[in-house]
Amino acid sequence: MFKFKKDSGQVSRLLLVLAAVVLVAVVIVYLVMKMANPAPKPPVITTPVIPMPVYEQKLGDFRFLFQSAIDKGSVLRATDARNYTDSKKDLPISNAGAKFIQVTVAAQNVGTENTSQNLWDIENVVDSQGRNFIPFTGSGVNSWLPYPDQCGDILKPVFDPTPCTKIYEVPKSSTGFKVRVLVNRSASSKKGELLLDLIVK
């Protein structure tokens, strides 16, 4: 009877040891599996790419550079006119919700030969909504533009950039202005158009 009890105690101890070994083995297997599976990568946060403003571009043998865009408000002042006299009058804008902006872009010949006359020009101003505004024209505005008009002038190779200035009537609420620059079809090495960003001050 005593011998039976002794054997029972040994069996119990053996079972406890086996249980402990199994428990340790389970823990080891769990840790190995956890280490084998890499932690999930953090989610990739994609931020929208904001295009950088472009103030200078090349098109064929032409290099165009934004020079200035001046907010003239709702009136072109007589005192700012090129040929100011006491009799000269202000030129008010026709629409109360609009303003004048004066834009100057320069062109340079980066080729090896003179360009032809009227090969290049600046055209419409475009706002962030894609709306086009044509240059303000008429003899009344000429006094506020440089003389002589150099837009489309012949450009000699690598001479200083030649400025072209135009005045536009645009809504006061418009933002994000760009100006369209054209190279005509003639003997240019590349024809087409491009947009330059404006900083209106």
- 63-98 per-position pLDDT tens digit: 999 999 999 999 999 999 988 887 788 999 888 899
CA distance readout (Å), 39 to 27, 32, 44, 185: 19, 13, 15, 60
Residue pair 200/69 in contact by the 8 Å Cβ criterion: yes
User: To the nearest whole number, what is the mean pLDDT of the chain?
Assistant: 87
Q: φ and ψ at 140, to 5 degrees? A: -65, -30
Integer-rounded Cα Rg, in Å, for the chain is 38
Cβ 72 vs Cβ 102: under 8 Å: yes
Only one residue has tokens 């165009």, namely: 64
Query: Does position 55 have pLDDT exceeding 90, yes or no?
Result: yes
Whole-number percent of the chain with pLDDT over 70: 90
Query: Using one digit for the tens of pLDDT, what is the confidence trace for 123-157?
Result: 999 999 999 999 998 778 989 999 888 999 999 99
H or E segment at 16?
Answer: helix 2-36
The pair of structure tokens assigned to 23 is 């428990």
Please say whether the beta carbons of 60 and 116 come within 8 A. no
Phi-psi region of 50 (alpha: psi -120 to 50; beta: other; left: phi over 0): beta
- Which tokens belong to 199? 């900083």
Identify residue 31 by its one-letter amino acid code. L
What local confidence, expressed as pLDDT, does residue 23 receive?
84
* 198/19: higher pLDDT: 198
One-letter identity of residue 152: G
Confidence of residue 4 (pLDDT cuts 50, 70, 90): very low
Query: How do residues 111-120 score in pLDDT, each as one tens digit?
Result: 999 999 999 9
**Residue 188 pLDDT > 50, yes or no?**
no
The model's pTM is 0.73
pLDDT band at 9 (very low <50, low <70, confident <90, very high): low
Query: CB count, 10 Å around CB of 64?
Result: 24
| Residues constituting the chain | 201
pLDDT of residue 28: 83
**2 vs 197, residue with greater confidence:** 197
Looking at the predicted structure, is the pLDDT value of residue 108 above 70?
yes
Q: State the average pLDDT over residues 167-188.
A: 87
**Residue that has been written with the tokens 């472009």 in this structure:** 54
- The pair phi, psi for residue 67, each rounded to 5°, is -110, -45
